[in-house]
Structures are given as C-alpha cells and as structure tokens.
Structure 1
C-alpha cells in the first residue's frame, strides 16, 4: 500500500531497501567464506519478506562458476536472477526436500513431455533433475554439444518447464536447426 497521498513508496519497498542496504553485497557465511546475496526479487527484499510464505526449497542448484566458494541456490528463478548468471557454465541439481523424492503433478508433467518425445523416463526423478539442470544455464561455448548430449526429449522438457528461460530461444533454435 502506498503512503498517504499516493506519492510515496510502499512499506515492502522501504523494508527491501533497508534489508539490502544493511546486508551489503556479502554476508559472512562461515569462517573464511562468503555467501553472495541473490539479486532480482531478493534484492528488493521480497524473498526475505515472504520467507514464511514460500515452502523450503526442494532442490539445490550447485552452479559451476569461476567464483570461488559460490553458495548453492535453492530455486531456478534464483539461478536466472543471480548477478553471476553469465559466469555459470553448468549447474548440478539435487533433491533436498523433506522425505522421499516424489514428483509433484507439475514435475511429472515435465517428465511426461520427455517421455512423449521418446526420452528415457525409467527413473522419473532423475529425468526431472536432468531436465531442471538443463533449464538453468549451459555454457554458450559448448551449447550445441551439450544440447546434443541431452537430446531432443530433454530439450523439449526443458522448454515445457521453463519456456521463458534465458536460453529458451537458443534451445528452440537448436531444435529447428536454425543458427
């Protein structure tokens, strides 16, 4: 809600500025290491303000980057919004949720796309993790090679999962054989 008169900033915006300003660019994570503060929605304080609204992350994104001791991320959107995104050459995704890894209906729908395209879905959870990792960021220098390794079914699954991903247009171009 805006301040009286409609010309101020919202309480959420003000709190976000205070949170980001007080956290600065780095947080002490452990002796001798640092954790980067995510950009995007988190930079405005939204993820900190709504921490109670969001369930704990189900996945851990270990992004390969030249940045030493880069902290893992918890959501695909955090990977895309990270200020170091363009330095990522790959991401390894693991399940870290509570209890056994059971696919949600949305996750199963992505696996179904892979299966319908002829992909290996003998382990649906592994298929989903592979597809989720493909949706993060692949090294542009090796993109065509990596997409060929993943195969058409996983690339189609990635586009079903994240049609607006930063590399989605490159994936679509690869599928059609366009440069």
Structure 2
C-alpha cells in the first residue's frame, strides 16, 4: 500500500502541470508590440515603415513631380518649331520644343536653331512668355513686336556653340539675355546665359565697368578661333590708359574698377574671376 501511494503522487503532480494555461503565443503569431518593432526595423533607420496599414505619405526622395518643378522654359510642344543646323555635315533637324532641342542626340554638335511661331492666328503670349517679353522691354528692347522678342529669347535658349558668332550671346542685347536667363534657367547653357546677362562674361568690344560689365578681376577664358592680333586695354574716366596688353597678358587676371572702360579686339571671351 505504501508503495502504491508513493507512485501515485508524481502522477497527480504531472496531471496538475498539464492544466496550467501557457503564456507563450501559438506558433506563427506575435504580439502587437513585436509586429510593430519588426516593421520599423524593416523600413530602415530614419524611414517610415512603407508597409504600415493606411499609410498615404510619400516617402522621402519620391520621384513624384512637383507643381513648381522647372520645365523647358514652359515651352509648349508644337507652339514653336525649331530648325536646327549642325556644325558637321549632318542634315537639318526640325523639332517642336526646347525640350526636344536639348534632348537631341546631336545637341552638342548643333550650330544654331531658327525659331518660328506655328499656331494659327495672332500671337498671344502665355503668362510666362509675357513675363519674358516684359523683362526684355524693361531693358530697352522694343515692345511693339512681342513675337519677334519671344523668338529671339527662344533662339538664345537653344544656343550651344560659338558664343561670339552671328546671333550668339555677345551680339544679344542685355534685355534679351536677361529674359532668356529667366525663361530657360534649366537650359544646358543656362548658367552661361545668366553670366552674359549679369555682365560676368563678355566678348570683344567696348564695355564699361558698372554698366554692362561687372568690376573685378577679369581673364581671357576662351580665346578667339583666330588668336592673332589680340589687343585689350583699360582706360580711366579721364581717358588715360591704365593697363593694356595682348594674348599673353590676357592669360593673367586684370583688375577693372567701377567707371573704367574695357576694350577688347580679336581676343575672344572674357570671364570674371573674382
């Protein structure tokens, strides 16, 4: 009898242990806290969990276009046509917008583009075009022919080569350059257009520091194709020559002070260094 009692005690304790509720979750599930921590870790440091239920926020770095994103000068496809010639023997190319011109496979080999208005009826400028025409007019460009002004602005926005050649930046008026810099800042040469407009880049000719050329240190940055005969000079307001030289001296910065006149002949393109 005593032996039977001793054997029964362990069996009773084992049965009691089997009836205690387990605190461990069933296999394949997890607590809410555990699931949340896993989602955050998957998203990566500093990023919101992309799989969070009901999330409608756009993740940082999204490629979604913004309403204020710059376009190709707001040039509407088909409104103008661009007949572009090449520096090599490539045939002329007919394109329908600035964006097409800039994206052309031979853009870096283009010489220039003739721009024409293609829509039927009288030219009515868009708000952006009217703003560009007004910018040019404020700088003395004739405002009686808005279409001609707009065509000049668009032509400058297509430029890629020969900045001082016929129809290039050096021949353009300050008002047209300013308007082009505002209308197509995202052009491949947008910064160069702005430099010509601001007077931090000039070609051969007569310039006045504080007028169409900024004072400061200047240097020849793009010699003319025919480098022979380059001469330049700086004269004071009294007409006295302050400095002068040729192609060799043009390779070093020359100081230009407000009111002084800068004259360059057969040298090329000058840029402001400081």
Q: Same fold (TM over 0.5)?
A: yes
Please, which of 171, 174, 181 is the counterpart of residue 149 of structure 1? 171
| 1:62 and 2:62 are equivalent in the alignment | no
Relative to its length, the structure with more helix (as a share) is: 1
Residue-by-residue CA offset, 1:47-80 (whole Å, 9 max, x unaligned): xxxxxxxx76111101121343333000001101
Partner of 2:233: none
Aligned equivalents of 1:136, 1:59: Cα separation in 2: 12
Structure having the higher Rg: 2
Q: Which has the higher strand share?
A: 2
Give 1:103's aligned residue: 125
The 3 A distance-change label for structure 1 pair 145 and 105 is: closer
Distance 2:137 2:160 in 1: 22
Larger RCO, structure (CA 8 Å, separation 6 or more): 1
1:84 has 2:106 as partner: yes
CA RMSD of aligned residues (A): 2.2
Q: Secondary structure at the match of 1:100?
A: coil
8 Å contact kept, 1:135–1:162: yes
Q: Give me the whole-angstrom Cα distance separating, in 2, the residues matched to 1:156 and 1:128.
A: 12
Instruction: Report the number of matched residues.
Output: 125
Does the 8 Å CA contact 2:80/2:116 hold for their aligned counterparts? yes
- List structure 1 runs of 4+ shifted beyond 6 angstroms: none
* Equivalent pair of 1:138/1:146 in contact (CA under 8 Å): no
1:20-71 C-alpha deviation (Å, 9 max, x unpaired):
xxxxxxxxxxxxxxxxxxxxxxxxxxxxxxxxxxx76111101121343333
Spell out, residue by residue over 1:109-168, the C-alpha distance to the aligned partner (whole angstroms, 9 max, x if none).
110010112222220111001111111114235369822311110000101110121111
Match of 1:113 among 104, 114, 135: 135
Q: Which runs of 5 or more structure 2 residues have no equivalent in the other structure?
A: 1-75, 202-270
CA distance in 2, matches of 1:110, 1:146: 19
Q: Per-residue deviation at 1:107?
A: 1.0
Note the residue ranges of structure 1 that are not aligned, 5 or more in a row.
1-54
What is the rounded CA distance, in whole Å, between the counterparts of 1:116 and 1:171 in structure 2?
18
2-side partners of 1:140 and 1:117: how far apart? 24
Distance in 2 of aligned mates of 1:140 and 1:88: 10
Q: Is the 8 A contact 1:56 1:97 kept in 2?
A: no
- Residue 142 of structure 1: SS of its match in structure 2? coil
Relative to structure 1, the CA distance from residue 67 to residue 74 in structure 2 (aligned partners, 3 Å threshold; closer, same or farther) is farther
